[in-house]
Structure formats: structure tokens, C-alpha cells
Structure 1
Amino acid sequence: MFTGLVQGLGTVAAVEPTDDGVRLAIATPLGRELAPGDSIAVNGVCLTAVDPSNGTFAADVMNETLRRSSLAEIGPGSEVNLELALRADARLGGHIMQGHVDGLGTISAIEQDGFARIVTITAGPELLRYVVEKGSIAIDGVSLTVSSVDDESLSVSLIPETLERTILGAAEVGKPVNLEVDVLAKYVEKLVGAHR
């Protein structure tokens, strides 16, 4: 489980294609906190650390994950958001996240609003049905509050801290982003549907 509070940035050192997917090598100081088999969120995708060392770790990314996430787009030199799995004794500061990307969105507009930056993301109706104004959403693994939503897109307002500490600070129009909707909304839909 994750919270969407990014703990550090990593840099993709290598992408090694295989018949079954790719193996990513990521350089990060967080590598020293990982043991083999630990979960780590990379741009919001829960991966398993392989061969962690003082400054790097590797992760195998299967084809299913490449089809459903923006990890298929990254290459050597790409920066990624990283979050270690939540410990049971830690404070839950963002929102409950699984690291299971629900789908992709595309940044369609960026505008300044005082010290904040409003980012608008287009997404399909299969995702937007779970998004509500002032609700939570994860974008590339960052827990954010939805500032507005309509039938085609959602918007979030990013504070300077988020812009500085995550890859969203360098986001550009046209960039694909990983979206994880609030898992509680999906459970509510299923429970309500079962009683119709």
C-alpha cells in the first residue's frame, strides 16, 4: 500500500527489453532502504525491487504493466517519482493507494494560478466516472485533490512543493500520465450495484 507522498526522484539508468517485458534499472538514494522483494511505486506503479544496492535497484515490468501505464514511454535518463511501501506504523498523509494504475490520461492544459499551477488531464469515461470534485486521485503516483471534473477531463492544482519534489513540475501538454482513481469509489460502485 502507498499514500501518494513521493519520497524521492529516481533516474532511469537502463531499460533492458526481454521477451516478457523490460527490466528497469533506477538510480536513487532510496536504493539503500530496499531489500530484495520490497515493493516500490515508480510513477505510481507498484513494482518489486530486484538487486537493490546503495544507489540503485532494478525492477521487472511485465507486458501487461507496459500496456496499461506510461512506463512503456520512459527511457534512460527519464526521471521518475518514487515511494516506498507504507509501513504499518507510519502516518497516512496522502490517500490510500495500491499502486495499481487504472489507466492513462493525457495532459491537455497547464496554466498558472498565483503560486499554484493548474494541470488539466483528459481521460476516458471509464476512469472519470470515479472522479469527484475535491476527491482524491493519483497522477504519476502523486496523491492530489481534484479541483474540477467534467465529462472529458479533470484538473488539479499543484503547489510549489509538489512542483519541486515530483516530476509533475516538468510536465508538458501532451504527456501521458498514470492515473489511479480512489479505490473506495470502485468498491462503493460494486456494492451498490450488487443491491440493485
Structure 2
Amino acid sequence: MTELCFATNNANKLREIQQMLGDEFILKGLKDIGCLEELAEDQDTLEGNSLQKAEFVAKKYGVACFADDTGLEVEALDNAPGVYSARYAGPQRDNQANISLVLENLKGKNSRKAQFRTVISLVEAGKVHQFTGIAKGVIADDLSGEEGFGYDPVFIPEGENRTFAQMSAQEKNAISHRGKAFRKLIEHLKNNHNRS
């Protein structure tokens, strides 16, 4: 069995990915390997942030590690908030304030096209692999739904008339940026570990 660290303290994310990975992998979170410090995310791209976290954990704790970073890219806002999605309205990382600022900045704009983009970096045996998942859609005029987190209440994915926040976790994962990126990671892990 292969041990992997997912650089997160989010128990829901860990459980979800463990289910996707199956029995041949043991997935550990940051607490499980004794990493209690806040991981730096001070790069100016999603690729840079996810790699920064995965490399730090892999080097310091000697484990194969993957980390993710996600941003909302709004076409009419020059792809903002992007890498600054979590702190768009300030360092307090307030979801409501972030959403309000996006909606405010979109007033008077013709296009409401947007996409969520997730980048996962895997650092294993000194090698780096990156996987990207994209969900295209539009920003709604108002918030709808109670599920999910972040910008989910205002993001309507292509082919849907509901926001991510109006979908069940299973429905969202089937089409979401994060779901797509993780499926690429898992396919890579299974293909490469089954051969060795």
C-alpha cells in the first residue's frame, strides 16, 4: 500500500479523495504527519501556490505529497480574483465580502463569463506532476443555494441553471473543476503505481 499526504486539514476533502483512491493508497492529512504549521501560499499563480505547499511538505516530512489551489477567474474582471480568490476582499478571507466585491465589480459589465480552475501539484520521488481542472460557467446576479463554499452560491456551471451551491456534493463533484483535477491525479497515481 502506498502512503500519500494531501496537504490539507479539511476532513471532508480527505474522505472524498480517499474514496476516489480506493484501498491501494493510504491518504494522510497534515495533522496525521505532524504538520501543524500554516503552509505558505505567497506565489502569484495557482500552479506556484500548490507546488509551494506540496514541495514544502514533501521535503520537510519526507512523504509523497500533493496540494491543490483553486481560483475563480472572471472574464470581465481580467480573470480576477484568480489566485487571490480567498482574500479578494481582504486578508480576513470572508466569503460573503469576496462574493459581494465580485458582484459589485461586475455591475455594468456585458459579460458574466467565468471559470473555476483547480491546479494540483504532486511531489513524489523527487518528481513534480501538475493536474488542472476547469469548470466554465457564468456569475449569477444573486446568491442561491446553501451547499458548497466560497463562490459556489453565485457560480452557474455551463449546461446548468443552478449554482454549485444548489447542487448536492455528488452532483457538483461530477462536473466541478476540483473533481476533474482530482480524477486526473488519481488516474496518474493508479496507472503509475500499478506498474511498479
TM-score by length of 2: 0.26
**Larger fraction in helix:** 2
**Larger fraction in strand:** 1
TM-score by length of 1: 0.26
